[in-house]
Structure 1
Amino acid sequence: MIPRLMRYRAGASPLAIAALLVVAGAATASDQRPNIVLLVGDDHGWDETGYNGHPHLRTPVLDEMAATGLRFDRFYAAHPSCSPTRGSVITGRHPVRYGTFAPGWSIRPEEVGIARILGEAGYECGHFGKWHLGPVKAESPTNPGAMGFDAWVSHDNFFEMDPALSRDGGPPEVYPGEGSAVVVEQAIRFIGEARRRDKPFFAMGCFGSPHEPYSGLERDLALYDDLPEAYGERSFRLTSNETGDPTTRPLDEVLRERYAEITAMDRAIGQLRLWLDEEGLRGDTLLWYVSDNGSPADGAVTSPLRGHKGQMYEGGLRVPSILEWPERITEPRASDVNAVTSDLLPTLCDLLGLTHPDRPIDGVSLRPLIDGEVATRPRPIGFWEFQVSPPPDRRAEPYIDPGLQEGTTPLVKRMGGLITRDFRNVRIDEVTEQDFDGPRAFLDNHYKLVVHERRGVEPARELFDLRDDPAEEHNLIDEEPEIAEELGQQLRDWQASVLRSLTGADYR
């Protein structure tokens, strides 16, 4: 046995550890049913908060939450891009298990998500903002309603000012206002209705910020008028808010708008917290903020972490996360335990004494961590970007009728000349050796193995001890070959489990 190295045992039941945690927690779970609010940022990187030492950003609300609640210092997105990570939040499973390979790939209708589980337990469930797991229109088999939400005011993808959103699957309507404020306004309206029905609520607010193209209110832009002049010497290519097409702009202008979006999102979170407080709900409301992936390249210029969105380095995967629950988390704490977006579903199930689906779950319950009972994670975290292009000998059949995958809600950014987005998912009935390809990583309590691989290209491997080397500067692949080999085998075993799920085996 290699010291400090956890083992992923594919031969054991994939639910074994998580199930044990659920059973252990069920006996001590409180009879109370807390209200739950889950907030998700879009492309918000780990360092882009005041409490994590950002040199410019003003995030007073997140800073206060970090100072009074449970701050996760090593929290990860399950994937370095949005749709896959959002699927992990809903299901507790790695997105490759159900074919959400990349942005614009839908979830599968057979997946059982957190809203369905909570709804069956008596919760009123609502989704507001960015969905990005399939069209939000009524006939879509993967809209929020199909995934268990009772109500939704949502967008197929991301949005800016004055977003066009679909209410409960209806035609898109423009909701005037700053995007994050609109999300919170709709969430508050839903919570108020749930209270009038005397129902506990689960409200999921998914912001369109700070995803590009960037924009901002004048009062927020003014906060960043004096960024360092050196930023103006660099430029970045991104989407024009005026045309929806690519443009190149000076970095100082880009960051001014990006930071304004983050500050506006922070303020909207504050408005929700204040409302919960005024309504006497905050004490027994579990409020959890996470992001869906790390900063894009333009936003990563100040980060002490290596890499950015789309990469398996820390800058692409590590994200801010804070949990507030005043009646249970009575003292401020910071956690150094690895956690991931896939943990949300098993954690909420454990806290409420509920069971999750009898299929492989990649997340683990963080209830013991919330209660201050553990200092390490019980098993590693796997990350994987499945290679979307099929091998030449495989013709992938659509998993869902393409007509049902056509989006309706417009956005600023054009793609192929369109301002709406369509989705896809494909059937993969048999696994080939090539299916194991793709950039991937396996994260233990100390070590992280990163495999860089594209189809037809010789893979390169890196090994980092993140406790000693958080910036991933020192590759230990030659110094610690046994650890690299062991992690590599565990990664391979985990991939085999994931690919079995991808064939639809979990649904049979």
Structure 2
Amino acid sequence: MATFTHKLFFGFLLVALGILTLGVRNSPKPEEPLNILILHTDQWRAQAFGYRGDPNVKTPHIDQLAAESANLFNAVSGMPVCTPHRASLLTGQHPLTHGLFMNDVQLDTTAITIAEVLADAGYQTGYIGKWHLDGRGRHSFTPPGGRRQGFQYWKALECSHNYNNSAYYTANSPEKKFWEGYDAIAQAEDAQQYIRDHAQDEQPFFLFVSWGTPHAPYRTAPQEYLNMYAPKEMQLHPNVPPEMDSMVRADLAGYYAHCTALDDQIANILQTLEDTGTSDNTIILFTSDHGDLLGSHRAYKKQQPYEESIRVPMLIRHPQILPGEYAALMNSYDIMPTLLGLSDAQIPSSVEGYDFSEYLIEQLPLPDTTTLISCVQPFGQWNRFDRGGKEYRGIVTLRYTYTRDLNGSWLFFDNQRDPYQMNNLINNPAYSELQQELDKLLTKKLKKQGDEFRPGMEYIREWGYPVDAKETVPYTP
């Protein structure tokens, strides 16, 4: 297996990367456009896979996919919450550009999305599962046209995590329908049927499968998967405080049950690609919108700038890309231009993300060794243990994570020496020079994005979003 090796240095000008450049794969360029399949999960943290060394979880099929793919192991969700990530994925833009820097608001119908670009290039487009980009109520009907953002085939719902009584809308009908049984299985079966229906078409397809799991509620997977995990056997991250031990063990067992259920569904979809003869001419992207803290740092869910929250799986299988580990810090807004680059489709001028396609295919040196993370509008209290979120801006390098809150420097970690981020280096004399350099670099990158880092309510007022007393958009669960 081909891998990149890298070594990080820091001095006066911060961090540099040395890459062993590999030979270009001698696969012929496909004569016909490649299909594109996005397998997208909700709240699956990058650490929770067999191929990433998790001692608890069973993900044999995704582990095999990882062995066949480019594994962008440094990938992050730049604003680790559902709606902002999804909008950035579809548009290739930063959250303060497309305006979806919080959940439950609507993506502008004039946005230029990957589905629209690919449809214009002759692709058939389809979307199955959780949408979370319409902002009209989590169970509302999203009609055909602009609010579906270029997707033609449609079996989706704005948002639901009731996995065993999960609704969707399809075609032009406002009639609410329901997936049979556990929705992840039913949605995978629908994706398999879509592939069968379009495998022999002259037009390529772009299919986006968006599952709601392994997001909470955790213990709602089918019993056969729940039976695979005993809470008492779970090994916890050392950054989970002892008083949360019992709760986290139970939740982690349920979380992993969802993960393994999805692993089986991905195996079924991949087998359908093989059975229909479309495996070798389909680009596969497997990822998630953000991670889940699951008790780490005394918190649950996402948004916070810790590894369990911001790091996401990012696997890309493509006939011209050598399998192996790739160091690129791919962000949410880099996915659209990279997929367009891999499919030889034109990247619109509205895109702000980076196209990593040449880096991946030609084994080029990294164009940048940093990326940004941010939170504009934090959630309030998530559970009885959590202390609530903060607004922040941060920079992630190949080794360090540095963040500021509205009061100044906040968190600074050496992720190589301290992978569980238990030693905050802020104001540590041994790291003062590096802290200053990271702070300057963060300021420079924020300025380039036009982000003044003001209080979140100022952005909310500018975009005209109605919020409740918790400063979040009200919605019907």
The verdict on a shared fold, with TM-score over 0.5 as the criterion, is yes
CA distance in 1, matches of 2:373, 2:35: 31
Name the counterpart of 1:328: 320
Counterpart pick for 2:202 among 198, 201, 207: 198
CA 1:466/1:374 → structure 2, altered by over 3 Å: closer, same or farther?
A: farther
Q: C-alpha distance in 2, partners of 1:358/1:97?
A: 13
Name the amino acid aligned to 2:108.
R
User: In the alignment, what sits opposite 1:161?
Assistant: 164
The answer to whether the aligner puts 1:347 opposite 2:338 as a matched pair is: yes
Distance change in 2, residues 1:255/1:463 (3 Å): closer
Cα distance between partner residues in 2 of 1:72 and 1:377: 14
1:137–1:166 contact (8 Å) kept in structure 2: yes
- Residues 187 and 205 of structure 1 are in contact (CA less than 8 Å); yes or no, is this contact kept in structure 2? yes
Using structure 1 for the length normalisation, give the TM-score.
0.73
Q: What is residue 353 of structure 2 aligned with on the other side? A: 363
Secondary structure of the residue aligned to 1:219 is: helix
Counterpart residue number, 1:13: none
Post-superposition Cα deviations, 1:431-473, rounded to whole Å, max 9, x if no partner, equal xxxxxx93111234454331123xxxx2333444545554443
Correspondence for 1:216: 221
- Which residue type is aligned with residue 101 of structure 2? F
**Against the structure 1 CA distance between its residues 301 and 324, is the aligned structure 2 distance closer, same or farther, given a 3 Å change threshold?**
farther
Please say if 1:475 is aligned against 2:477: no
Counterpart Cα distance in 1 of 2:144 and 2:204: 27
> 1:372-419 CA distances to partner (integer Å, 9 max, x unpaired)?
522424364222222489xxxxxxxxxxxxxxxxxxxxxxxxxxxxxx
Which residue, 248, 271, 276 being the options, matches 1:274? 271
Instruction: For residue 353 of structure 1, report the CA deviation from its aligned partner.
Output: 2.6
Aligned CA distance change for structure 1 residues 377 and 318 (closer, same or farther; 3 Å)? farther
Structural mapping, 1:408-423, within 5 Å: none
SS of residue in 2 equivalent to 1:227? helix
In the TM superposition, what whole-angstrom CA distance separates every residue of 1:13-46 from its partner, at most 9, and x where no partner exists? xxxxxxxxxxxxxxx9754311110011111011
Shift of 1:486: 2.0
Correspondence for 1:443 among 371, 384, 396: 396
Post-superposition CA distance 1:298-347 (Å, at most 9, x none): 4x599xxx99612012221111121122x323x43111221122111111
Does structure 2 retain, via aligned residues, the 8 Å contact 1:107–1:142?
no
Q: Distance in 1 between matches of 2:285 and 2:336?
A: 12
Kindly indicate whether the alpha-carbon contact (under 8 Å) linking 1:93 and 1:363 is maintained by their aligned counterparts in 2.
Answer: yes
The within-5 A match list for 1:232-271 is: 250-271=247-268
Mapping 1:14-33, distance limit 5 Å: 30-33=30-33
* Runs of 5+ unmatched residues, structure 2: 1-10, 17-27, 237-241, 380-389, 454-458, 464-477
Computed over aligned residues only, the root mean square deviation of the Cα atoms, in angstroms, reads 3.2
Residue 211 of structure 1 and its aligned partner are, at CA, apart by 0.9
Decide whether aligned partners of structure 1 residues 179 and 227 sit closer, same or farther in structure 2, where only a CA change above 3 A counts.
farther
Q: Aligned match of 1:3 in 8, 13, 29?
A: 13
Partner of 1:70: 70
Residue 355 of structure 1, CA deviation: 2.2
Q: CA contact under 8 A between 1:48 and 1:54: conserved in structure 2?
A: yes
> What's the TM-score once normalised by structure 2's chain length?
0.77
Q: Which amino acid aligns with 1:351?
A: L
Match of 1:189 in 2: 193
Q: Distance in 2 between matches of 1:229 and 1:128?
A: 32
- Contact 1:234 1:251 survives alignment (8 Å): no
* Aligned match of 2:232: 227
What is the CA deviation profile of residues 127-148 of structure 1, one whole-angstrom value per residue up to 9, with x for unaligned ones? 110110115624487632xx10
The answer on whether the counterparts of 2:192 and 2:269 sit within 8 Å (CA) in structure 1 is yes
Instruction: Give the match's secondary structure for 1:209.
Output: strand
Quick one: distance in 2 between partners of 1:137 and 1:272?
A: 27
Report the Cα distance in structure 2 between the residues aligned to 1:141 and 1:183, rounded to whole angstroms.
Answer: 22
Hey, what does 1:109 align to over in structure 2?
109
1:56 aligns with 2:5: no
In structure 2, what is the equivalent of residue 376 of structure 1? Answer: 366
How many residues are paired up?
410
1:81 matched to 2:86: no
Per the alignment, residue 496 of structure 1 pairs with 450
Structure 2 residue aligned with 1:460:
409
Distance 1:486 1:173 in 2: 52
Which consecutive residues of structure 1, in runs of 5 or more, have no partner in the other structure?
7-27, 237-248, 390-436
* SS at 1:224 equivalent: coil
**What one-letter code is carried by the residue in structure 1 that aligns with 2:316?**
L
Q: Would you say the 8 A contact 1:297–1:309 is kept in 2?
A: no
Aligned match of 2:290: 293
Instruction: Find the residue that maps to 1:494 and give its secondary structure.
Output: helix
The Cα of 1:498 is off from its aligned counterpart by: 8.6
Q: Which amino acid aligns with 2:152?
A: D
